[in-house]
Each structure stands twice: as C-alpha cells, then as structure tokens.
Structure 1
C-alpha cells in the first residue's frame, strides 16, 4: 500500500473537468510523482568538429492508475518531454494563458523561494516551491516541486526554465476538493511561502487570500502535520517544519519518521556545507541521508551517506 507524504516538503469528473492532475496522455489521475533525472550532455551529431553538445533529459513517472514506475525515454527535444504535450504541460494548461481569459470561479497561486525575475529573502520565507490551481466549490491541484524559476512563464512553450536542466527535479501532483484548500492555504502560511504569481478571487477561502499577502501563521503545537484527502480518497500528510533545537521536534524528516512510524530515506540538496549524516538512534525510527539515487534512467548510482 502506498503511503505518501507532502513536505515543505482523482478522480472521475468526466471529460469536462478543468483542474486535475493529468498524465502524459492527458488523462485525469488522482496523483502522480515525476522524477526528472539530471540533464546529460551528449555530442551533437550535426556539429562534431565543433564539439558541441545537446542536453538530454529523461524522467521517471508513476501515478494512481498505474501503480508502477515508467521511465520516459530521453530526448533532446524537451518541449515534447516537459512542455505542452506531457504531464506537466497537460496539468498546468489552466494557467498557461492570460488572467483575463480565466473563468471567474478559478484561482491560482505560484510560490517559490527561487522565483523567476525576483528574489525571496531566505531568512523570511520558506524553502518551498509549488503551484495551486482550483475551481471554487469543485476541484483543484496542488503541484509541489523543486525546480527554480518554475513556471518560468505562463505559456505552454516557455514555462520550463533553463535552470531546470542540470540538476534532478521532483514533482508531486495531487487533486483535491475545494474544501481541502482551506488547510492547504494554512500550510502556505505556516511555512511562509513566497507567492510570485497569483490571482485568487475575493470570495475564495480566506486562508488562500492571506497566503498571497504574506500573512504568517504559527503551526499548531498539538500536531506537526495536516491530513489532506484527495478526490480518490487517498490520505496525504502535509508537514510544516518547526523551529527547535530539539532534533525530535525541529528536524522535519525525523518528525515524518515518527508520524508514519517508519524509517525514512531522504535525499535533499547535497551541496550545502556541514551536511548532516544519517540519524540512527536507539529508538524505533531512523533517518537515512541518501547521497545519490539509483534509477533506471542510467544516470546515477545509489549511496547512503553516514
């Protein structure tokens, strides 16, 4: 059984559903996870004497309907793989247009600590990235990701940024009912997400409106997470990192391990200095620091650090 976690880390509405996670074939799905492998330089056969290279990208995809991992073949034409004709482009279609062309009952919010065209103060705003799209009293999408400057533009041909090629990137898309976005708005306030592009109607949930105004809320002390239920009745845990010198409180991944009552293997950005080793306590829960992930893309290997 899948047990999924949303961190600062579908439904059958018929063919007329506008806001839903969509797969590579433009079919509606309850959720999907997309792992884009690091970009790989390959020789350009059209310019061998000049030693020019093309960047090839590939990704691994799984969703609620397949329950299996599919590796999408690599290509140098990223517009076919990432943009308008693949899962991300299909899912983001409702916002790839001018605001004046969007329905009145529709709202969206893009947030990022590394937004395009501006900057977010890391001492004031959460280290988090995502996109919300929602129809009032209907359904919406929460797309969490790790890609800087994404979406670069609300245009089907330019929403994927050049900054997303070199490193691996992850995406988690889930479709929720409108009533779940009250708690999602609270989560954005807990982590103080930095909104850089949004249009939330004035009669939407107040929590979403306040999230666009940088209104911060303190996470509840009684529980370190919120439980969200997708349209397909899959439960997701939404965690907001708390500030504390106590590892069992202030460490996000140790908190996750306690809540789901399981060991946790974590891969985070590995270039920061003094990166922590794996945490192996005498208790029931361990957090393993994954240095590199081994996938069937053939790009990398697997090592557990510490």
Structure 2
C-alpha cells in the first residue's frame, strides 16, 4: 500500500528566491490534501479540504490536474531550482535492491522565502529517486 500525505508548512523562514511552493490542485492553492494510491497500479483516491468528507477516485495518480502532480510540478517546472531548499529522505538508498527492516517512512520537504512550502510524506519505495 502506498499512502501519501501532504501538509502545507507556513512557518519556515528560509533565505531563498521566492517560487511559491505550496499544495495545489489545478493551479489553485490549498492548505492540505491526502492521496491514497491503490497497490499495483496508478489509480488513487484523493481527499481535499473543500470536500473533506468525500474521497474522489482518480484514474491515474500523476494526472496533471490533480494535487500530486500540481504540487510537485512547481519544483519540476521551476527555473530557480538552485535557490530551493529541499530535503528528501528515505530508508531506501538510491538503487537499493532489498527491503531493510526499518520504518518505511519517506518524504520530501520544500520551502522558499514567502513562508510557504510543503511536506510530502509517503511509503513508496524509491520515490524520489
């Protein structure tokens, strides 16, 4: 099972060029979202703040209009990556081929100067790699 959690962080004060990192869906800012990716494929379920009681089904987790892609694309499409504060952590080193007997928590934290950022916590092996 892959579980993705994203929480917007508004308390980081870091000296970088502004890029406006935060949770997004279809270019709309949001405070948080949850994504549950079903095992063995790309389909997923999303829980968004404007519909916090209903999960919506998505055919593919990397749909360009959905939160996971919209949020990560801020970094991928940014021309100022050298000024981005990013921390990626995983108990799977790159190209690791066996499962270590540890907590499966992994994540990415990104932030910039406007007190905006996000924290992606997940259990997907090799992401990011």
TM-score relative to the length of structure 1: 0.32
Aligned residue for 1:132, secondary structure, equals strand
1:38 and 2:39 aligned: yes
The structure having more radius of gyration, on CA atoms, is: 1
User: What stretches of structure 1 of length at least 5 have no aligned partner?
Assistant: 1-5, 40-55, 153-306
Q: Deviations over 1:141-192 (max 9, x none)?
A: 011111111124xxxxxxxxxxxxxxxxxxxxxxxxxxxxxxxxxxxxxxxx
Q: Which has the higher contact order (CA 8 A, sep 6+)?
A: 2
2:62 is the counterpart of 1:82: yes
User: Where is the helix percentage greater, Structure 1 or Structure 2?
Assistant: 1
In structure 2, how many angstroms separate the alpha carbons of the residues matched to 1:90 and 1:28? 10
Partner of 1:21: 23
- Structure 1 residue ranges (4+ consecutive) displaced by more than 6 angstroms after TM superposition: none
CA contact (8 A) 1:26 1:86 kept: no
Task: Tell me by how many angstroms 1:115 deviates.
Answer: 4.1
Q: How big is each residue's C-alpha offset from its partner over 1:40-60, in whole Å with a ceiling of 9 and x where there is no partner?
A: xxxxxxxxxxxxxxxx53211
Classify 1:131/1:93 alpha carbon distance in 2 versus 1 (closer, same or farther; 3 Å): same
> Which residue pairs with 1:143 in the alignment?
120
In 1, distance between residues paired with 2:91 and 2:36? 20
* Deviation by residue 1:75-106 (Cα, 9 ceiling, x = unmatched): xxx4xx415442111111233268x84262x2
- Tell me how far 1:30 sits from its aligned partner: 0.7
Report the RMSD for the aligned CA atoms in angstroms: 3.4
1:102 to 81, 87, 93: 81
Q: Describe the SS at the equivalent of 2:68.
A: helix
Residue from 23, 41, 48 that aligns with 1:63: 48
Pairing partner for 1:111 from 89, 92, 117: 89
